[in-house]
């Protein structure tokens, strides 16, 4: 075994120079990497492979045997046999990584699709068109259209969705209000006024969000982060301070937008509570003269009497 290792070390060491020359002429014939270059050839055949051969040779000296012919032949053909095997392994690893990446992208697309479906469901599948408001639009709906248009103009479509959600809630709670009360009732006017005030407060939040977002509309946060991460050592102190100040402005503005968005979420919850509370109000006259439990007891009693009457006959 030690003789085989010694012969393998000699054969492997001898092949370093020919493969090095081949690699310097055409790196792709001497390397199994996807993007071969001459620097990789130098590292492999001038440092790595000779080091492995030297390590094997030092290991084989403990036995004191001479090199074997089989070891020589195996060392001479080691690189020629190892390159195709390495290419197959690298190709398999590359395909595995690609499959994982595709699976991650598919999962991300599915998650994004589910998120969009949830948002559409949350908005009641209703989308306001700021350019063409509904025909029966009142002051609240027109204000929501204006706020949504301003958010779209400052490139904040994810915030503009809140206008659709508010419109959906406002329409739902208004429909429930019309079902439970008459337009001439004082409770109807009072409830509608309170609902409108909540919606106008949310519109004010959307307007403030659009105003604050307009201040950072021209700031590319990704570009600033890339420059700070890749060119940090080449930037001057003034440039670095300027870029960091831009990031600070982005962060502060985003925090303010999140706070206003949270306020609107509270308004949406209040509208949901109002719709549920009004839906529980029973203003119509009941159709049944007795309650359900009494009706069931009377029916069971009638069935028992009918069975006794049939047995008597």
Q: In the chain, what are the domain boundaries?
A: 2-120, 123-279
Whether this model's pTM surpasses 0.85: no
Given a cut of 50, is residue 262 above it in pLDDT?
A: yes
Whole-number percent of the chain with pLDDT over 90: 0
Given a cut of 50, is residue 285 above it in pLDDT?
A: no
Question: Which of 276, 165, 167, 259 is CA-nearest to residue 208?
Answer: 259
DSSP state of 170: H
Residues 144, 167, 214: CA angle, nearest 5 degrees: 35
Question: Which of 141, 148, 147 is CA-nearest to residue 169?
Answer: 141
Given a cut of 60, is residue 309 above it in pLDDT?
A: no
Residues with Cβ within 8 Å of 125's Cβ and at least 6 positions away in sequence, in order, are none
pLDDT digits (tens, 9 = 90+) for 77-119: 888 888 888 889 988 888 898 888 888 888 887 787 666 556 5
Contact 154, 213 (CB under 8 A): yes
pLDDT digits (tens, 9 = 90+) for 114-135: 665 565 555 455 677 788 888 8
């Amino acid at each position: 075994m030690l003789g085989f290792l010694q012969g393998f070390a000699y054969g492997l060491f001898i092949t370093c120079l020919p493969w090095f020359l081949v690699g310097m002429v055409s790196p792709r014939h001497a390397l199994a990497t996807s993007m071969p270059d001459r620097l990789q050839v130098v590292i492999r055949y001038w440092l790595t492979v000779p080091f492995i051969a030297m390590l094997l040779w030092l290991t084989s000296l403990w036995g004191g045997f001479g090199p074997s012919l089989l070891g020589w032949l195996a060392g001479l053909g080691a690189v020629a046999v190892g390159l195709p095997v390495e290419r197959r392994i690298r190709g398999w690893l590359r395909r595995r990584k690609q499959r994982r990446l595709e699976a991650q992208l598919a999962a991300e697309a599915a998650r994004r699709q589910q998120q969009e479906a949830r948002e559409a469901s949350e908005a009641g599948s209703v989308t306001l068109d700021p350019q063409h408001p509904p025909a029966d639009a009142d002051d609240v709906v027109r204000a929501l259209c204006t706020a949504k248009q301003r958010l779209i103009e400052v490139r904040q479509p994810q915030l503009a969705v809140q206008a659709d959600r508010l419109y959906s809630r406002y329409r739902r709670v208004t429909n429930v209000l019309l079902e439970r009360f008459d337009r001439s009732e004082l409770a109807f006017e009072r409830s509608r006024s309170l609902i409108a005030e909540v919606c106008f407060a949310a519109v004010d939040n959307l307007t403030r969000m659009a105003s604050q977002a307009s201040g950072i509309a021209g700031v590319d946060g990704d570009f600033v982060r890339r420059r700070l991460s890749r060119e940090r050592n080449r930037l001057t102190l003034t440039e670095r301070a300027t870029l960091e100040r831009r990031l600070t402005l982005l962060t502060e503005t985003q925090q303010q937008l999140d706070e206003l968005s949270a306020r609107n979420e509270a308004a949406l919850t209040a509208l949901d509570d109002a719709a549920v509370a009004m839906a529980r109000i029973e203003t119509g006259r009941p159709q049944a003269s007795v309650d359900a439990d009494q009706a069931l007891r009377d029916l069971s009693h009638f069935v028992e009497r009918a069975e006794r009457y049939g047995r008597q006959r």
